[in-house]
Copies of this chain bind each other. A is one copy, B any other.
Amino acid sequence: MTRIVALSGGVGGAKLALGLSRVVARHELMVVANTADDFEHLGLHISPDLDTVMYTLSGKSNQEMGWGREGESWAFLESLEEVGGETWFRLGDRDLAIHVERTQHLRAGESLSAVTRHLCDRLGADIDLVPMTDDAVRTIVETAGGDLAFQHYFVRDRCEPEVSGFRFEGIDAATASPGFLEALASDDLEAVVVCPSNPFVSVDPILALAGVREALKQAAAPVVAVSPIVAGLALKGPAAKMMRELDIPATALAVAGHYAARGLVDGFVVDETDRTLAPEVEKLGVQVLVAQTVMESLADRESLAGEVVAFASQIRADR
């Protein structure tokens, strides 16, 4: 019985998802991960955001690197480099096995949802993690130098090209994954949490799926987003750089506006350092929570998660 649905990209989203998994019962939380930055590489289907959430929620994420798996080793990649293979995407030996196994299951005709459930079970990520869709959606980053597949932009080119826009190939033909839409329609739902992930390339693909915006608007539960921009900076990733390049102010207010313009959020969480922006966000018709959103410790994750759930509860009560 899902009480909370969290929409997540990679690292930042996974942090809050971990917090949420500790303040509600595990079976009450569904994490829906972006799959528009999935890609085919070396013949393998790689799902970076799904894996980041899965590794984080199973306690297998690499705390030092901030991505990938704990206790990771790199013999495969060293050997691949030796024979002139493509090594720009850093595939660790342990991580690689997940991609090989996923690809095998997909080739055998299983859905990405089913494979994700299998992998989570095996890895001990005791969580209801679902891909946003079982269909292929691929983010294309439009830049001055031409179109780039997302991972080429993000990893190979280190987010250096100047961004002029985004599009999500395959989005029109894609269907939201069955578990996701079902959870949104449930009477038990208490909150939809938009994690502090990149609004353009992590959250927008999820929102762009047919039926998702309508389901969010119809959901009994409020939608609460946590700003990924704090004091004009993205804590992780290129969100702030993208905003500057798109002539959007790199502020939490602009992120709130990005969601509110489409009537998608009921509540918005800004960091304490952005307290002065709260009245401006409220003018968008969105309730505001000011909180400590920078999650360094596990306690930070739990604390923010608890505040976000309480905030949603308050919005529900106010209705």
Contacts and interface: CB of A to CB of B under 8 A. Distances in A.
A46 to B, nearest CB: 13
Nearest to A72: B75
Interface in A43-72: 43-44, 69, 72
B122 A84 contact: yes
Interface residues of A, number: 32
A77 B104 contact: no
B123 A83 contact: yes
A79 B104 contact: no
A85 B73 contact: no
Nearest to A77: B97
B94 A75 contact: yes
A110 interface: no
A85 B69 CA distance: 18
Nearest to A93: B75
Interface in A78-133: 78-80, 82-85, 92-98, 100-101, 103-104, 107, 118-119, 122-123
Contact of A80 (B72, B83, B100): B100
Contact of A83 (B44, B98, B103): B98
A42 interface: yes
Contacts of A200: none
Nearest to A82: B122
A42 to B, nearest CB: 5
Chain copies in the assembly? 2
A76 interface: yes
B83 A122 contact: yes
B104 A83 contact: no
Given A43-B43, A84-B122, A122-B83, A76 B94 contact: yes
A96 B44 CA distance: 13
A97 B79 contact: yes
Contacts of A123: 82-83
A243 B271 CA distance: 77
Interface in A255-284: none
A45 to B, nearest CB: 10
A82 B96 CA distance: 12
Given A43-B43, A79-B96, A80-B97, 16 more contacts: A43-B104, A72-B75, A73-B73, A73-B75, A73-B93, A75-B75, A75-B92, A76-B97, A79-B93, A79-B98, A80-B100, A82-B97, A83-B97, A83-B123, A84-B101, A93-B93
Interface of A: 42-44, 69, 72-73, 75-80, 82-85, 92-98, 100-101, 103-104, 107, 118-119, 122-123
| Nearest 6 interchain pairs by C-beta | A79-B97, A75-B93, A79-B94, A80-B97, A83-B122, A85-B101
